[in-house]
A and B are shown apart, each in its own frame.
Chain A
C-alpha cells in the first residue's frame, strides 16, 4: 500500500487564484512529520512547509499553508494568490518516527501544477 497518495497528476490554475494540492498518507506511527517540496524544471527539491503530527495548528509559510486533518490522514497544500513562478512539480512526503535508525522521507508521486497567465 502506498504511504503517500497524491491523486492529482496535473492541475491548471489561473494566475492569482488559490490552489489546493491534495495529499493523503498512511501510517500507524503516532509520531510523524509531513512535508511539501517543490521541484521546478531545474530539478532541485525546494522545501516549502512542514507539519508535525503533534502540532496543534496548521503550518503556514508565507503564501503556503498546510491543511492538516489528522483523523482523515490528509495534508493538503494550499497556495494563495498563485504566481507564474509556482509552476512546478509538487511532492507531498512523510517521515515516520519509529526508531532512531529509520530516518528517511517517503515521497508521493507528485502533482504537476501549471499556472496560466
Chain B
C-alpha cells in the first residue's frame, strides 16, 4: 500500500508565475486535504474535498489559489501570480472517511518564490 504522494517535491519560481502541485491520495481514500506550512509554524488548513466535491475553503485561500479534484482521485493546487509570501511547504493529506481517526500526510511540496 503506497502512501500519499506529491509532485513536485520542490519548486522554485519567480514572482508572478503560476505553479501547480499534484497530490495522489492513498487508494480509496475519499477525503483529501491541503495544508500550508510556513517556517516555524504548524500546518494551516487550506481546503478539503470529499470525493470530487470541495466542501470547505479557508480564508487563507485567496482568489489566486484554486484546487480541484475532478474525478475524486488525485487533486491539483494551483497558485496564480505567485508572491514571495506564498513560499511555504504545501502538504496534502487523505483519509478514508469522516470518522477515521487519522489524516495521512504526503511528503509535501516545498515552494520558493524568488
Q: Residues of A with Cβ closer than 8 Å to B?
A: 4, 33, 35, 37, 42-47, 50, 52, 91, 93, 100-110
Q: How far is it, in angstroms, between the C-alpha of A101 and the C-alpha of B54 when the chains are bound?
A: 10
| Residue contact A43 to B89, C-beta cutoff 8 Å | yes
**Smallest beta-carbon distance B97→chain A, Å:** 10
Q: A110 to chain B: which residues have CB within 8 Å? A: 40-42
Are the CB atoms of A105 and B56 closer together than 8 Å? no
Bound Cα distance from A102 to B57, whole angstroms: 10
> Would B105 and A109 count as touching, CB distance under 8 A?
no
Q: Chain B nearest CB: distance from A95 CB in Å?
A: 8
Q: How far is the CA of A16 from the CA of B27 in the complex (A)?
A: 38
Chain B positions 50-76 with a Cβ under 8 Å from a chain A Cβ: 55-56, 58
A43 in contact with B103 (CB, 8 Å): no
Closest residue on chain B to residue A51 by CB atoms: B101
- For A37, A47, A104, the residue with the greatest tally of chain B CB atoms inside 10 Å of its CB is A104
Chain A: minimal CB distance from B29 (Å): 13
Residue of A nearest to B46 (CB): A104
B109 CB, nearest partner CB in chain A, Å: 10
| Contacts A42-B107, A43-B89, A43-B110 given; does A103 touch B98 at CB 8 Å | yes
Q: Which residue of B lies closest to A46 (CB)?
A: B105
How many angstroms from the CA of A80 to the CA of B24 in the assembled complex?
Answer: 34
Beta-carbon contact of B33 and A109 below 8 Å: no
Q: Are A45 and B43 interface neighbours, CB within 8 A?
A: yes
Q: Which residues of A contact B25 (CB under 8 A)?
A: none
| Residues of chain A lying within 8 A (CB to CB) of residue B55 | 101, 103
A91 CA to B103 CA in the complex, in Å? 14
A91 touching B42 by the CB < 8 A rule? yes
